[in-house]
């Protein structure tokens, strides 16, 4: 789906993120003038062939909003592809900038979906039993809601403690900690409570990472896809490294139910843990912005960002939701899949046979004709080699620090 739109200028902040890189590619390829911004001069999105202008931005501090005002005026920006960090940074001036973003125009609705703790609190306290279903053992911890450790001690290990930027004292940081024992979790909560006014704690649920990805505008779904991961970094669960398109209708409907309850409009990735052995799934979190695996979708030809901006800026909407039906498997090799391999090698509970298999598989996947590489995008392949060079330099510097 290609459209003419060169008269529109779109800003993409945090151009170092994989989702932002995919958004830059999609919008630039479809004729939008893309302003990529990051406070990291090495951000890959700044170097993309689809970036019309690369700008080194300040950090998210007190001067950011004034800088943003100047940029919008100077570059005549028509829209902004928001990230979570960006929204936290502009919260005091949300009403001033909200017309430029594809998200709920009510501040409370926009920021509700940015907070893991508020999202789970809504579901756990809902009168709808469907919203309470398919959720791991979960509790919100705050000064008004101390942890019930006697109950938490019955949850399956490991435990996960999460803090999001909405409740971070510095207004920017987020954190996820994996704890092997209840005592470790108690210590972690005590330490993190100094930096976060609210925390989320969850018990472990088995399964591979699966996501439902959508773009919604005016309660209409414009585009949708689902992805299942087979490699994570680390292997116990984390960033997806190897994933393929798939579909699971019950999970899809569960995701739509949650997005409606949150009154969300815009791009969203709803994450689940899918246990194939029991054919069950559990909601893990919502990322109310473009997702890291967005390159999978655009490599398959489903351009969520371009579809969204065509609707937002031009009023051009598909009659029916555009769904990813093409079979595709894509890999983020460095550092994600390398991290998967390294985490297996370091895990003493993983057998030698599985480690050897993973090592052979790592190199075989690089040669496999059916596996796409996230960063090897047509017209922008240089990002793969820039990223590989940076990875090798970091690895060499780590070796020198350890042995020289």
Q: Report yes or no: 216 and 264 within 8 Å, Cβ to Cβ.
A: yes
Percent of the chain past pLDDT 70, that is, above it, reads 98
Candidate from 36-40, 92-96, 172-176, 357-361 with smallest mean pLDDT: 172-176
Can you tell me the mean pLDDT for 8-31? 97
Instruction: Report the C-alpha gap between 65 and 106 in whole angstroms.
Output: 19
**Beta-carbon contacts of residue 279 (< 8 Å; ≥ 6 apart):** none
pLDDT at position 95, please?
A: 98
Res 404: pLDDT: 63
Domains detected in the chain: 9-112 (3.40.50.20), 137-202 (3.30.1490)
Q: What SS3 string covers the chain?
A: CCCCCCCCEEEECCCCCHHHHHHHHHHHHCCCEEEEEECCCCCHHHHCCCCCEEEECCCCCCCHHHHHHHHHHHHCCCEECCCHHHHHHCHHHHHHHHHHECCCCCHHHHHHCCCHHHHHHHHHCCCCHHHHCCCCCEEEEECCECCCHHHHCCCCCCEEEEECHHHECCCCCCEEEEECCHHHHHHHHHHHCCCECCEEEECCCCCEEEEEEEEEECCEEEEEEEEEEEEEECCCCCEEEEEEECCCHHHHHHHHHHHHHCCCCEEEEEEEEEECCCCEEEEEEEECCCCCCHHHHHHCCCCHHHHHHHHHHHCCCCCCCEECCCCCEEECHHHHHHHHHHHHHHCCCCCHHHHHHHHHHHHHHHHCCCEEECCCCCCCCHHHHHHHHHHHHHHHHHHHHHHC
Token representation of residue 321: 């939701």
State both tokens at 189: 């909560």
Instruction: Please report how the helices 249-261 and 116-124 are oriented relative to each other, as an axis angle in degrees rounded to 10.
Output: 100
Length of the chain: 404
**Using one digit for the tens of pLDDT, what is the confidence trace for 190-224?**
999 999 999 999 999 999 999 999 999 999 999 99
For residues 66 and 121, what is the distance between their CA atoms, to the nearest angstrom? 34
Question: What are the CA-CA distances from residue 395 to residues 63, 381, 388, 400 (Å)?
Answer: 35, 22, 10, 9
Residue with tokens 């829209």: 79
Alpha-carbon span 245 to 330, nearest angstrom: 9
Average pLDDT rounded to a whole number, residues 293-317: 97
Q: What percent of the chain has pLDDT over 90?
A: 91
pLDDT at 281 over 70: yes
Quote the pLDDT of residue 172: 58
Q: What is the pLDDT of residue 400?
A: 83
Rounded to two decimals, the pTM is 0.94
Provide the pLDDT confidence category of residue 291 given band limits of 50, 70 and 90: very high
Predicted confidence (pLDDT) at residue 173 exceeds the cutoff of 80: no
Q: Which of 9, 81, 7, 73 is closest to 38 using CA atoms?
A: 81
Whether 6 has a pLDDT exceeding 70, the answer reads: no
Question: Given the structure tokens 């996820």, which residue do they identify?
Answer: 176
Q: Is the pLDDT of residue 102 over 70?
A: yes
């Amino acid at each position: 789906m290609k459209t003419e739109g060169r008269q529109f200028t779109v800003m993409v902040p945090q151009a170092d993120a994989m989702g932002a890189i995919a958004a830059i590619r999609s919008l630039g390829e479809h004729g939008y003038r893309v302003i990529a911004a990051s406070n990291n001069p090495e951000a890959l999105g700044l170097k993309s062939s689809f970036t019309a202008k690369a700008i080194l931005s300040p950090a998210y501090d007190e001067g950011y909003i004034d800088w943003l005002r100047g940029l919008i005026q100077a570059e005549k920006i028509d829209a902004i592809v928001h990230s979570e960090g960006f929204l936290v940074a502009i919260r005091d001036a949300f009403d001033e900038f909200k017309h430029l973003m594809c998200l709920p125009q009510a501040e409370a609705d926009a920021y509700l979906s940015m907070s893991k703790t508020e999202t789970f609190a809504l579901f756990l306290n809902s009168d709808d039993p469907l919203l309470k279903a398919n959720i791991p053992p979960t509790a919100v911890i705050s000064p008004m809601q101390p942890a019930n450790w006697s109950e938490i001690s019955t949850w399956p290990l490991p435990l996960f403690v999460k803090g999001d930027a909405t409740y971070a004292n510095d207004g920017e940081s987020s954190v996820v900690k994996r704890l092997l024992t209840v005592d470790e979790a108690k210590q972690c909560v005590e330490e993190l409570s100094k930096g976060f006014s609210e925390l989320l704690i969850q018990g472990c649920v088995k399964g591979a990472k699966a996501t439902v990805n959508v773009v919604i505008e005016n309660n209409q779904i414009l585009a949708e896809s689902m992805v299942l991961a087979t490699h994570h970094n680390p292997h116990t669960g984390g960033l997806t490294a190897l994933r393929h398109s798939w579909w699971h209708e019950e999970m899809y409907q569960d995701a739509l139910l949650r997005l409606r309850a949150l009154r969300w409009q815009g791009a969203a990735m709803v994450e689940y843990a899918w246990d194939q052995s029991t054919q069950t799934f559990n909601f893990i979190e919502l990322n109310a912005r473009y997702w890291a695996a967005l390159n999978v979708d655009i490599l398959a030809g489903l351009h969520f960002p371009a579809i969204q901006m065509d609707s937002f800026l031009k009023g051009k909407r598909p009659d029916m939701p555009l769904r990813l039906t093409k079979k595709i498997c894509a890999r983020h090799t460095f550092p994600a899949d390398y991290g998967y391999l390294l985490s297996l090698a370091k895990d003493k509970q993983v057998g030698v046979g599985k480690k050897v298999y993973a090592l052979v598989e790592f190199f075989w996947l690089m040669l496999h004709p059916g596996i796409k590489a996230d960063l090897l995008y047509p017209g922008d392949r240089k990002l793969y080699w820039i990223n590989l060079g940076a990875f090798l330099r970091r690895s060499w510097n780590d070796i020198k620090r350890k042995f020289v």
